[in-house]
Amino acid sequence: MHADRLTDSLSLHAEGPYWSDTWGGLRWVDMLAGDILHLDPSAHGAGADAGLLTEGPNGAVTRLPTPSRVVACVRPAAGGGAVLALEKGFALEDPDGSITALPPLWDEDVRMNEGAIAPDGSFLCGSMAYDQRDGAAAMWRLLPDGTTTRLFGDLTISNGLAFSADGTRAFYVDTPTGRVDVFDWSDADGLVGRRPFADLTGEDGHPDGLCLDAAGNVWVAMHSGSQVLGLDEHGAVAERIAVDARQVTACAFGGADRDTLFITTSRENLAPGDDPAAGSLFAVRPGVRGAAEELLFGD
């Protein structure tokens, strides 16, 4: 399969796509610009022959600034609005779009990177050091009552995180391991019982963001590999989606029928003119659907 390029190169470092009916379509982040991007849901079916979608007053993409120089992850909230991971902590978006940053969680040269809503309605997000040093990152949890806890540390580049439909397991990437791992989930204790699920060290690229389809199969973006891999229930590669940009960062199912896989890419550390489609949003219909129900932050 081959993904269609959907937008112009809009982002320096696009990440974290997520489709939600609560905010009406697809959002993703231009992480190092501190901005959220929102795709008009009527435009998501455009393909290579329809022309590239653009942002601006007459475009299909709207750019929403945040009060932080970094916005790492955005997920929908049960009461409307959203919960965000900013550079050094969390923030809440009200239904009217106003954003309130919560107190920072650390002073170190570390930033949030990627996360997900857990089955109990809490928001989990992992971090990474700007210099990507080993073991400097951690997994954090924001409960709906505002309580924040550090679940565990000794991570390096905490990346994709997605929960199974029955809420019992979570699939996870710490990129330098070259693996997708799986945890058990406990409302009381969080992520426990980590073990390997898929060794991807022999594949082109490095595992980054991921998502699940309705059958529970894992789709993982391969940074520097120009592809998304579809993994079966045993962790074996069952599908490959080619992407016309090297730095593939994350993927998520969306559309009214959840049959479109949206794929984000990055221009970070690229020279001008190198990999011209990098920073664009891509899309493909892989013949499967994402989960019909979405997890929301809050009670």
Domain ranges across the chain? 4-284
Give how far Cα 282 sits from Cα of 201, 205, 221, 264, Å: 24, 18, 12, 6
At the top level of CATH, which class does the domain 4-284 belong to?
A: mainly beta
Q: How are strands ordered across the β-sheet holding 4-5?
A: 4-5, 281-284, 260-265, 248-254
pLDDT at 46: 46
Q: How much is the pLDDT for 118?
A: 98
∠ CA 14-134-35, nearest 5°, is: 20
Q: Contact, 287 vs 40, CB < 8 A? A: no
Ranges of the chain whose pLDDT falls below 70: 44-50
pLDDT at 45 (0 to 100): 55
* Tens of pLDDT, residues 62-73: 999 999 999 999
| Amino acid (1-letter code) at residue 180 | V
Q: Please provide the DSSP assignment of 195-253 as one string.
A: EEEEE-TTSSSEEEEEEEBTT--EEEEEETTTEEEEE-TTS-EEEEEE-SSSBEEEEEE
> Which residue bears the tokens 């050094």?
88
Please answer whether residues 17 and 29 qualify as being in contact, where contact means their C-beta atoms are separated by less than 8 angstroms: no
Q: Which of 185, 272, 173, 262 is nearest to 223 (CA)?
A: 173
What is residue 50's predicted lDDT score, i.e. its pLDDT? 59
The C-alpha torsion from 96 through 98 and 102 to 107, rounded to 10°, is: 150
Residue owning tokens 């120009």: 226
What is residue 44's predicted lDDT score, i.e. its pLDDT?
A: 60
User: Which tens digit of pLDDT belongs to each residue from 36-55?
Assistant: 999 988 776 544 445 899 99
